[in-house]
């Protein structure tokens, strides 16, 4: 039986949309199951949160299919909140230069953007669990602060040790998976680095 191109296109679009919403449902189910587990067992959280928001508010009609922007909110022992995410090197004035590092999310620009974010306890990060086999736990805040140190926070002795990368490059991550460097991959990378450094020091 001959099926015209319009029918095939409609079937393909419907199938892709159904798959997208099914995967989204399963992701949220896994997220809320973990949240319920933490609450029921009164497990103490580390004070690290994955911050997510849609990347471009003005593209509201397509933003639901775009990947989230991700950053980290870290609550220190003294109660101070530190939020960092991958951004352009502040010393880099070249428009097309993609050298990136962690920057502090503060000031009017970020205050406005932060209104659109949702906070997810790092212990509920589904993508991390799917990649490494377990949810993050027992995050050492001081160690994570050191790994995500910004140029603004660094002194002369430590400025050369800050996390640096090139946004948009294709490379292999710490799990040897092929990735495109982005705010999402950087957050995943530093959480994994913290875990590996902490486990190594405990040996």
Q: Give, rounded to a whole angstrom, the gap between the first and last alpha carbons of the chain.
A: 66
b/e map 76-109, b = 16+ CB within 10 Å: eeeeeebbbbbbbbeeeeeeeeeebbbbbbeeee
Average pLDDT, the chain: 87
Q: With a cut of 70, which residues of the chain have pLDDT below it?
A: 1-3, 55-67, 90, 92-93, 203
pTM of the model: 0.86
The count of residues in the chain is 203
Largest CA-CA distance found in the chain, in angstroms, rounded: 73
- Host H or E run for residue 79: none
């Amino acid at each position: 039986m001959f099926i015209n191109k319009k029918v095939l296109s409609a079937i393909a679009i419907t199938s892709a949309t159904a798959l997208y919403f099914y995967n989204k449902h399963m992701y949220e189910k896994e997220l809320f199951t973990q949240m319920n587990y933490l609450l029921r067992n009164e497990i103490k959280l580390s004070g690290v949160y994955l911050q997510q928001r849609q990347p471009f508010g003005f593209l509201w009609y397509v933003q639901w299919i775009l990947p989230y922007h991700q950053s980290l909110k870290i609550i220190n022992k003294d109660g101070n909140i530190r939020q960092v995410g991958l951004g352009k090197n502040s010393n880099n004035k070249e428009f097309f230069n993609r050298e990136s590092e962690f920057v502090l999310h503060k000031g009017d620009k970020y205050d406005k953007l932060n209104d659109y974010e949702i906070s997810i306890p790092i212990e509920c990060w589904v993508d991390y669990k799917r990649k490494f086999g377990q949810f993050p736990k027992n995050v050492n805040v001081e160690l994570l602060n050191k790994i995500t140190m910004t140029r603004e926070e660094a002194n002369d002795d430590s400025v050369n040790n800050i996390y640096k990368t090139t946004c948009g490059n294709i490379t292999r991550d710490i799990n040897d998976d092929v990735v495109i460097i982005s705010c999402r991959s950087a957050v995943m990378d530093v959480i994994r680095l913290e875990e590996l450094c902490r486990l190594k020091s405990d040996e």
